[in-house]
Chains A and B, each alone.
Chain A
Amino acid sequence: MNEGQDWIYSDTVKDHFMNPRNFLFGDESQFDFDAVGIVGNPICGDQMKMYIKVKDDKIEDVRWKTYGCASAIASTSALSELAKGKTLDEAVKISAKDIDDYLGNLPKHKFHCSVLGHQALADAVNKYRAQK
């Protein structure tokens, strides 16, 4: 795994873990969102929330919160970059594999338990559509 590196994860994962993008710092009132989706459970060790701001059927802006391990934080951060600017139809199609490809080489045992954010995003889109 990651031969020659001194860290358990790839450089991209480390970067998104150390410098996460688009996270919602503090309480929810910090961000004017149209819908929020949730996935996971703290009992299982990982939980994500995705907050979306929609304009003209596109994700204009996005924030997230995560309780979880380094790859959970990094993968949600990566997802937020992937989701921005996408149409809602495109957004719900973002898969765990897309996130993994974007980050490059999450360890296999991490992939299943911590790459969940896309489900929270789909949940947010569905809620947005339901409330319209």
Chain B
Amino acid sequence: MVYLDYAATSPLLPEVIDAMREAEQRYFANASALHTPGHLSMNKIEEARELLAKLINADPGEIIFTSGASESNNTVIRTFEGHKICTSPLEHHSIIEAARVLGGDEKPALYSYMLANNEIGEFLPIADVVKKAHKEGGFVHSDLTQVLGKLPIDVKALDLDYATFSAHKIGGPIGVGALYVKNGVPFKPLIIGGNQEKKRRGTTYNTVGIIGFGAALKYLLDRKTWEIYDTKIRALRDKLAGRILEEIPGSSLNTDLKNSLPNILNASFEAAEGESIQLYLDAEGIIVSTGSACASGDIKPSHVLMAKTGDAEVAHSSIRFSFGLDNTEEDIDKVMAVLPGIIDRLQKISTIERKTK
């Protein structure tokens, strides 16, 4: 199998599996308990917190563990319930939908801008947003889910008030995430009714999950994965992009290679529909995702591709290839051995005539 859907979720790192297996056996006790097993569990949670703090240049006390990026995002939006909430059109639904339901007119405003988008990988100019927001007394949140491990992160240098992270995009388990909350900024807990996380999030600590997240964070730190992404993975991504443009008539890129995360490539194939491309690739053992409506169970195609291209047909015909550290040159060859044929066949049975050569 050639797995190119790392931006959706990544397989567990062997280091994570080992750490979680040990944790299942040794750190089962309730981490809030005062007895020795509880205390030992809490120590492991604090180790993970320190690793994330180190990785993003925060104080450990500024980090709250959550159930994932959607919860982290919802928590920040909920803190600004009734306030003006400005978001980019490329945000995740857990921002856009929450802002739609909870936003209002009160000041100060919250600005939520991701640093890099998950579907096309492109960077957003958040420095301008941060400057503008802080000048008017507002606050800034950034969803850094796709950025963790791919780029060095410094929340102080970025001057963020809140930032969202997820474990399962970096080889950690699904169901664990984190929220950076700068000391002194407004905060309302989403889950009320417990002293955990310094009363910022009720519910028993997910010790095993957090330990798994910690093992993935340690992997990033030890290997400085952002350097590997910037070199090896960027080269693979750019090579695939070049070959697609060269070898597949009617192809175009939705990702600006010079202004994007090094591991994400989004391309569209004229007159060929994304879900069909995805499933023909699946039948060949190549795993990708699509911004087509059909794949999402929605009737509309990806809001990100619509915002980026303004063209529903381009959005319906889009495929995202997202790379992880395990991908190789051979994977690119395997994709390009079948993709041109799949596109050609779909274009030939399509009702739409391909306009470009």
Instruction: List chain A positions with a Cβ less than 8 A from chain B.
Output: 8, 17-18, 20, 23-26, 38, 40, 42-49, 65-73, 109-110, 113-114
Contact = CB atoms under 8 A, between A and B. Distances in A.
B294 A114 contact: yes
Interface string B307-322: 0000011001000000
Interface stretch (B21-29, B46-54, B156-164, B268-276): B268-276
Interface stretch (B11-19, B101-109, B348-356): B348-356
B351 A70 contact: no
B352 A24 contact: no
A114 B279 CA distance: 15
B273 A69 contact: yes
Which of the listed residues A18, A66, A110 has the most CB atoms from chain B within 10 Å of its own CB? A66
Contact of A73 (B293, B313, B348, B349): B349
A42 B299 contact: no
B75 interface: no
Interface residues of B, number: 24
Interface string B260-304: 000000000001111110011001000000001111010101000
A47 B348 contact: no
Given A43-B313, A45-B293, A45-B316, A24 B349 contact: yes
Contacts of A109: 297
Interface in B73-114: none
B276 A49 contact: no
B349 A70 contact: no
Interface of B: 271-276, 279-280, 283, 292-295, 297, 299, 301, 312-313, 316, 348-352
Contact of A25 (B276, B348, B352): B348
A26 to B, nearest CB: 5
23 contacts: A18-B283, A23-B349, A24-B349, A40-B351, A42-B313, A42-B352, A43-B313, A44-B299, A44-B312, A45-B273, A45-B301, A45-B316, A46-B273, A47-B351, A47-B352, A48-B351, A49-B351, A66-B349, A70-B275, A70-B276, A71-B294, A72-B273, A72-B276
B221 to A, nearest CB: 37
B348 to A, nearest CB: 5
A25 B294 contact: no
Contacts of B348: 25-26
A114 B352 CA distance: 16
Given A45-B292, A70-B275, A114-B294, A65 B351 contact: yes
A20 B283 CA distance: 15
A72 B275 CA distance: 10
B294 A67 contact: no
Given A43-B313, A69-B273, A110 B352 contact: no
A18 B280 CA distance: 8
Contacts of B349: 20, 23-25, 65-66, 73
A113 B351 contact: no
Contacts of A113: 293-294, 299
Given A42-B316, A45-B292, A45-B316, A67 B275 contact: no
Contacts of A67: 271-273, 350-352
A121 to B, nearest CB: 14
Contacts of B313: 42-43
B310 to A, nearest CB: 12
Residue from A23, A67, A110 having most chain B Cβ neighbours under 10 A: A67
B347 to A, nearest CB: 9
A40 to B, nearest CB: 8
B273 A68 contact: yes
Contact of B294 (A23, A47, A49, A68): A68
A47 B350 CA distance: 8
A72 B274 CA distance: 12
Contacts of B350: 65-67
A18 B316 CA distance: 20
Contacts of B279: 8, 17, 70
Contacts of B352: 42, 47, 67
Given A68-B294, A69-B276, 7 more contacts: A24-B349, A38-B351, A45-B273, A66-B349, A67-B352, A69-B295, A110-B294
Nearest to B349: A23
Nearest to A18: B283
B299 A69 contact: no
Contacts of A49: 351
